[in-house]
Structure 1
Amino acid sequence: MDDTTRNSPDTSGTLDEALERLHSFGPERNGWLSNHAPMAVEALVHHGQAPGVHRWLDHYRAKLEEMPDRFTEVTPDNWREALGDPRRIADWTAYFERETADRPWREVLAEWWPRLLPGIAAGATHPVIRVGHCVRTLLASGENAPRIAELAHGLGYWAARHQPLPPLTPRSPATGAAAALDAVERVPDQSGGIRERLGQLTGFPVWPPRPVTGAEHALTVTDADSARPRPATDPDLARARLEELVRAATHRYAAYAHGSPVMLVHAATAPNAVLRTLPALPRELWAPSLDAAWAASAAVTAAYAPARAADYPAAPEGLSPEEVFARAAAHGDDHTIKFTDTALDVGGPAALAAALRSIELNPPVL
């Protein structure tokens, strides 16, 4: 990934003010559409656009709904039955507020990350994306009350919308992330919403390659809640593969985004959220994180990618990453802002071309 576009920690206080404004609202609207504001404002601040954040929020305010009423308290004894119950969004948020008040946030994240990973498709992958934005700030700028509260909101949303994919059959192996995404089979019926489309999934190409040595046979990373053993791989290799996936999905967007300019951004932003979270996690969780990120990216690709690629213009020579993000900020669309944020993480002309494609295809809102 390109480190040249990474910015210094925010010292303006704008992000914390924005998060405090947002935490009285729920993570969804109209029954299931996600509230993108916490993610978009984090990206805006991260890329030096803090002065425009409150104006952006004033415009977005019409899309926000109050936090839903509490249903039944989530406890250490009943959390399994509450997992995936969207009626419990407020209950789950309150649960994680208590957990992060009593324990270090990294400890809470490490405990819940493997429990939540099998449901990474929750809320069209928005919960994991929200967690990834939050963790980036916690790691770069340190912890305080608004940022810890944001983590509780993100984890609570993920737990309430937890959605495992259907049983999947391994397809032919692919040698790289780009080839694997190219080999993903589209779902037959692309007329419904994401939940209907994900229900049609039957299998993905086998990726990444997993060489297992004799020593590794004795070591497995196990999801304690699903009892599905996963072969261990070198954590640094897992991270490298995840970077490859984010890069491939970002580049692919430029040619295929015309199929669904909004939804296809998640094929890149979801695995990038996982990548951003890795440094806060125990290294033994990096390999299963890669598995989940691949499943999320492949699922979105299968659900929304068009049958054929389209031509697209290259990024103009001399156009800087900062100029591209400024265009995304002026454009104002939340998905465009978040995808451009991921494209700048990837870096390079192909990623900038993909970001410009998102600005071109998604309707502006400012």
Structure 2
Amino acid sequence: MTDTTGMLDEALQRLHGSGPERLGRLTNHAPMAVEALAAHGRAGSVHRWLDLYAPRLEEFPPEVETVTAANWRCALGDPRRAADWIDHFGREIADRPWREVLAVWRPRLLPGLYGGSTHPVIRVGHAVRGLLAGEAGGVTGPRLAELAHGLGYWAARFHPVDGLAPLPGADSAAAALDAVAPIAARDGGFPARLGRVTGLPVWAAATTDPDEAHRRLTELVRAATHRYATHGHGEATMLVHAATAPNAVLRTLPALPRVLWVPSLRAAWTASAAVTAMYAPDTPAAYSPPGTCTPEEVFERAVAHGDEHVIKLTDTALDVGDTQALAAALRSVELSEPLVA
């Protein structure tokens, strides 16, 4: 759904004076949440939601040194350089079409989508959806700036995962996720846990056709979303990313050259499986939603709850669109702390 109210652009302008993180490690989720609200016809709730979230925002970080064509590799993965990277992508997008910038930088950034707890790639996914929705009525400056912020955050938090051992997998995404073994020590934050992931089941590794990659990625998003209903109690917030990260990758495919679809699938699988290994509980818990709700009613519950991860998982659940996905969204409402003033 295209936002014709201008509320999304107003919100993005309001947010671009804030940094991509707070407290040096926690992600600013507001740009992603407001895009989800606007995408589902709730633009009128955007500023109200932002008023509640505003205490979590921090000022935009200072610049260190200009990122250039000569030095960008040295700046990759340096979180102190977030402002430098955002400025760099702002200049890149001002000089050439945004799709061209995305196509050039996607293969450079894709190996490092695990940094920032996968939030940078999720922010880019929301930014791209906003731009694609805006193409019918003209791409706006705030939406282009949001893509620059998302790509800049991704470059600053670039963190690759190398040397994973291929373990026995399965044919379906759901069975492959079931085959993921939890890491032994499940304490510490995302970077510490990620360092303990040494191997993941093989899934879709033989895929070479772009259309098959699209189909497989859609299957992965569906499976990870469904799985949250029965496994979300392992860690209500972090397990959201097992579904929202691959969905963010899926959302960018229409804006990318087809040659990038297969590597996008492989990176998305590794991210979803790694999050599952890091946070999934040892055993599932049966879950039946309280009654039958329409997609619109489920999204209304997510908006009323207000938590940014609930909104984003519900947004992904509505993309999947089936009963089990909606049940996962309702489960996230039950498991998560609401956003309050």
* TM-score (ref. length: structure 1): 0.91
Range with greater deviation from structure 2 (339-348 or 164-173): 164-173
CA distance in 1 between partners of 2:31 and 2:39 (Å): 12
CA contact (8 A) 1:126 1:270 kept: yes
Aligned counterpart, 1:124: 117
Which of residues 286, 306, 309 in structure 2 aligns to 1:335? 309
Aligned counterpart, 1:321: 295
Matched, 1:196 2:170: no
SS in 2 for 1:204: strand
Matched, 1:353 2:327: yes
Aligned counterpart, 1:222: none
CA distance in 1 between partners of 2:226 and 2:269 (Å): 16
SS in 1 for 2:167: strand
Moved over 2 A (4+): 314-317
Q: Can you list the C-alpha shifts for 1:40-89, whole angstroms capped at 9, x where unaligned?
A: 00001111111111011011110000111101111000000100000100
Aligned counterpart, 2:11: 18
Q: Can you list the C-alpha shifts for 1:226-275, whole angstroms capped at 9, x where unaligned?
A: xxxxxxx1111000000000000000001111010000000000000000
CA contact (8 A) 2:169 2:179 kept: no
CA contact (8 A) 2:86 2:153 kept: yes
Q: Can you list the C-alpha shifts for 1:130-189, whole angstroms capped at 9, x where unaligned?
A: 000010111111211000000000000000000101410101131110011111111111
Matched, 1:284 2:277: no
Residue type matched to 2:303 in 1?
A
Which of residues 218, 221, 227 in structure 2 aligns to 1:243? 218
CA contact (8 A) 1:166 1:201 kept: no
CA contact (8 A) 1:249 1:297 kept: yes
Matched, 1:182 2:182: no
Aligned counterpart, 1:210: 206
Aligned counterpart, 1:221: none
CA contact (8 A) 2:12 2:143 kept: yes
Residue type matched to 1:86 in 2?
P
Which of residues 258, 263, 268 in structure 1 aligns to 2:238? 263
CA distance in 1 between partners of 2:44 and 2:169 (Å): 47
Aligned counterpart, 2:155: 159
* TM-score (ref. length: structure 2): 0.97
**Unaligned stretches of 5+ in structure 2?**
none
Which of residues 27, 32, 46 in structure 1 aligns to 2:39? 46
SS in 2 for 1:77: coil
Aligned-residue Cα RMSD (Å) equals 0.9
Which of residues 274, 280, 289 in structure 2 aligns to 1:299? 274
CA contact (8 A) 2:8 2:38 kept: yes
SS in 2 for 1:173: coil
Matched, 1:272 2:223: no
CA distance in 2 between partners of 1:116 and 1:182 (Å): 28
CA distance in 1 between partners of 2:206 and 2:169 (Å): 10
CA contact (8 A) 1:83 1:159 kept: yes
Residue type matched to 1:24 in 2?
G
CA distance in 1 between partners of 2:226 and 2:151 (Å): 29
Aligned residues: 337
Residue type matched to 2:260 in 1?
L
Residue type matched to 1:161 in 2?
R
Residue type matched to 1:10 in 2?
D
Aligned counterpart, 2:56: 63
CA contact (8 A) 1:119 1:165 kept: yes
Residue type matched to 2:273 in 1?
A
Aligned counterpart, 1:362: 336
Identical amino acids, percent of aligned pairs: 66
CA distance in 2 between partners of 1:49 and 1:133 (Å): 15
Matched, 1:144 2:140: yes
**Unaligned stretches of 5+ in structure 1?**
1-7, 212-232
CA distance in 2 between partners of 1:140 and 1:300 (Å): 29
Q: Can you list the C-alpha shifts for 1:284-330, whole angstroms capped at 9, x where unaligned?
A: 0000000000011011101100101012113623x110010011001
SS in 1 for 2:272: helix
CA distance in 1 between partners of 2:147 and 2:87 (Å): 11
